[in-house]
Every structure is written in structure tokens, then in C-alpha cells.
């Protein structure tokens, strides 16, 4: 569905393949295990030669529809999902970082992300350097000092700072770094970071994607070769998105484009009012 606009993708992408009995909505498949005609069928599915599911921690039809929908909205080759946004962030970082690696990031990342960088990664021997979020020269200088991962967030939650993604992603690639961005606060309707050169874009689906504060979830999108590795980390370590949460996120996303459009309009009105207010800088 790559040719369609975000509204159509938010409504229908990823769903067709999971529909049964002429239903127009994706079913919530709670089954953890699956049945097969014979051992050959099981073996073909288990080894990826045939489409299908083996066990709920690995894959699930409802969850697959959610992943496919976000994948289409981000214009990505592949996507994999997580129980929360924080699981998306920690699993993605843990997939690629090794002791001795160096991460360049910004001071304004989401609170939980900041804790990963200050509390947990140093314990695994990963060095993290924090740059002033809007100081692009400083970010570029630290990248040149060496980094395996450049971790960005734009706009930042809650300080709403903006990074020139294309500029710093290029600097990251010049030193061979993997460039990851948390795009939660823009949503795929306002920003598609893969088009700006980043390798992986992740979201807390709990926020704009779900939109109703009734489901936690996370997702990461990018090229198949990278997503495969993150998926493998997650399927083994177990931060799997539940089928019910997948359904609620799918349902929430049907109005993603409408909600974001209205939120943009409202935010612009507030910004224009504040701009004319003499008490506000
Ligand atoms: C909320 C949020 C997260 C964490 O997501 P959870 O689903 O709460 O784990 C990560 N990044 C940003 C920008 C967020 O707003």
C-alpha cells in the first residue's frame, strides 16, 4: 500500500492478510500455541520457509497486523513490536551495543531513556556522551570522536526541542555509526525519519499511535537486516506485545491521521496566541 496517503494506510494497511470469514476487522488471536497437519508443516514454519506462527512470544497474527501498519506508515522494509516503548528502546540498544562501545546522544531524551544511558548501559561497559540537544556542532564533534550508535529523539518529550535529523544522521554514517531515533512525539504522520537518513525509527505506541491511553506498546522500523536482529533479541528476551494491546493499538490507529491533524491545528493556535502575548518569551 506504499502508494496510499497516511490516512488510508492508518485505516487499512496490514489488515487484509489477517482477515477471516469475510470479517472487516482483524481478530484478536489469543492462542499462544498453534496446530499443524504434520511435522513437515511445523518444520517449514519453524524454519521460515512457510508463513505461520509457532509460539506467542515470537509472533502473533494480531500483532503482525499492527507491525505491518506502522511499517507502511513509516515507509519501512520491516518492523517489530514490544510490550512498551521502553522495551523497544532497551531491546534495540541491547541488540547492537557491546562492552567498550560509545553512544552519542542528547540531554533531552525521554526520562526512561535517560535512565538507560546513565544507570544501565555504563554497567555493561558502554560509554555514553550527552550533547546539548540543539547544539548540532557539539553533536557532530562528539560523533567524530567515535561512536557505534548515535541515538536521537526529535521532537523531544517533554522539552519539544527539534534536531536537524538529516544533518546529524549524515555525520553518524560518516563514522559508520548506527543511527537510531525515537520519533514518538511527531508520529509517522508528521515525520518519517527513515527518509531523512536514519537507520531505525522507534515509537512508544502508547502515545499518538494508540491515542486512547488504554494500551502500552512499542515498535521499531527499518531495513529487514537490522529488524531481524532486534526481533531475535526480543523473541528470546520476551518483551512481547500482547494480542489485546495489538488490537487496541490497531483500533486507535484508525483515527491517527485525524487526531494528529487536529492536534497540529490546536497547537498552532496556541503557539500563535503565545507569540502575541507580551508576557511570553
Ligand atoms: C512515553 C515515551 C516513551 C516510553 O514509552 P512507554 O510505552 O511508556 O514505555 C519513550 N519515548 C518517548 C518519546 C515517550 O514519550
DSSP string, 86-119: HHHHHHHHHHH--TT-EEEEETTS-HHHHHIIII
Three cell numbers at 197? 537518513
Instruction: Compute the distance between CA of residue 219 and CA of residue 217 in angstroms, rounded to an integer.
Output: 7
Predicted local confidence at residue 281, as pLDDT: 86
Domain-by-domain residue ranges, the chain?
6-13+61-276
Q: Kindly indicate the confidence band of residue 3, based on its pLDDT and cuts at 50, 70 and 90.
A: confident
Which of 92, 110, 152, 155, when mutated, tests ligand 1's pocket best, judged by the most ligand atoms within 8 Å of its CB? Answer: 110
Q: Which helix (H) or strand (E) holds 173?
A: helix 165-174
Instruction: Please answer whether residues 62 and 29 qualify as being in contact, where contact means their C-beta atoms are separated by less than 8 angstroms.
Output: yes
Among protein residues, the one with the nearest Cα to ligand 1's atom 2 is 204
Q: Which residues does a 6 A CB cutoff place in the pocket of ligand 1?
A: 84-86, 110, 112, 153, 157, 182, 184-185, 204, 206-207, 216, 218
pTM score of the predicted model: 0.96
- pLDDT tops 80 at residue 2: no
Instruction: Please answer whether residues 5 and 219 qualify as being in contact, where contact means their C-beta atoms are separated by less than 8 angstroms.
Output: no
Predicted local confidence at residue 47, as pLDDT: 93
Written as one string, the DSSP assignment of 45-56 is: HHTTSS----BT
Q: Beta partners for 180?
A: 151, 200
Sign of the torsion angle spanned by Cα atoms 241, 59, 92, 66: negative
Instruction: Compute the distance between CA of residue 66 and CA of residue 61 in angstroms, rounded to an integer.
Output: 9
- pLDDT tops 80 at residue 1: no
Which pLDDT tens digit goes with each residue over 35-58? 999 999 999 999 999 999 999 999
The CATH class of 6-13+61-276 is alpha beta
Is 275 part of the annotated catalytic residue set?
A: no
Q: Of 73, 108, 95, which is closest to residue 209 (Cα–Cα)?
A: 73
* Cα dist from 67 to 9, 32, 219, whole Å: 12, 18, 7
Instruction: Please answer whether residues 275 and 91 qualify as being in contact, where contact means their C-beta atoms are separated by less than 8 angstroms.
Output: no
What order of strands is seen across the sheet that includes strand 178-182? 78-82, 218-222, 200-204, 178-182, 149-153, 102-106, 127-131
| 89 Cα to the center of ligand 1, angstroms | 9
Which pLDDT tens digit goes with each residue over 76-134? 999 999 999 999 999 999 999 999 999 999 999 999 999 999 999 999 999 999 999 99
| 221 Cα to the center of ligand 1, angstroms | 16
Is 57 part of the annotated catalytic residue set?
A: yes
Three cell numbers at 113? 531513556
Instruction: Compute the distance between CA of residue 70 and CA of residue 153 in angstroms, rounded to an integer.
Output: 18
Residues 216, 220, 226: CA angle, nearest 5 degrees: 150
Which pLDDT tens digit goes with each residue over 5-25? 999 999 999 999 899 899 999
Written as one string, the DSSP assignment of 212-232 is: SSS---EEEEE-HHHHHHHHH
Amino acid at each position: 500500500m506504499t502508494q496510499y496517503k497516511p490516512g488510508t494506510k492508518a485505516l487499512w494497511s496490514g489488515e487484509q492478510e489477517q482477515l477471516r470469514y469475510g470479517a472487516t476487522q482483524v481478530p484478536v488471536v489469543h492462542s499462544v500455541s498453534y496446530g499443524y497437519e504434520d511435522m513437515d508443516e511445523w518444520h517449514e514454519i519453524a524454519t521460515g520457509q512457510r508463513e505461520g506462527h509457532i509460539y506467542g512470544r515470537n509472533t502473533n497474527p494480531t500483532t503482525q497486523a499492527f507491525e505491518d501498519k506502522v511499517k507502511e506508515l513509516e515507509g519501512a522494509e520491516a518492523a517489530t513490536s514490544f510490550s512498551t516503548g521502553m522495551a523497544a528502546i532497551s531491546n534495540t540498544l541491547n541488540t547492537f551495543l557491546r562492552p567498550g562501545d560509545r553512544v552519542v546522544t542528547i540531554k533531552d531524551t525521554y526520562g526512561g531513556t535517560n535512565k538507560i544511558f546513565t544507570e544501565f548501559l555504563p554497567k555493561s561497559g558502554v560509554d555514553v556522551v550527552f550533547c546539548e540537544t540543539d547544539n548540532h556542532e557539539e553533536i557532530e564533534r562528539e560523533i567524530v570522536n567515535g561512536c557505534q550508535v548515535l541515538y536521537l529523539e526529535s521532537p523531544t518529550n517533554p522539552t519539544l526541542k527539534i534536531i536537524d535529523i538529516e544533518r546529524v544522521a549524515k555525520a553518524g554514517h560518516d563514522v559508520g555509526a548506527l543511527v537510531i531515533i525515537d520519533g514518538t512525539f511527531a508520529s509517522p504522520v508528521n515525520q518519517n525519519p527513515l527518509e531523512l537518513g536514519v537507520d531505525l525509527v522507534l515509537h512508544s505506541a502508547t502515545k499518538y499511535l494508540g491515542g486512547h491511553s488504554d494500551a502500552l506498546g512499542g515498535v521499531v522500523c527499518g531495513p529487514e537486516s537490522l529488524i531481524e536482529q532486534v526481533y531475535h533479541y526480543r523473541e528470546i528476551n520476551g518483551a512481547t506485545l500482547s494480542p489485546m494491546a495489538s488490537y487496541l493499538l490497531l483500533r486507535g490507529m484508525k483515527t491517527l491521521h485525524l487526531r494528529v491533524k487536529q492536534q497540529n491545528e490546536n497547537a498552532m493556535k496556541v503557539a500563535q496566541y503565545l507569540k502575541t502575548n507580551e508576557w511570553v518569551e
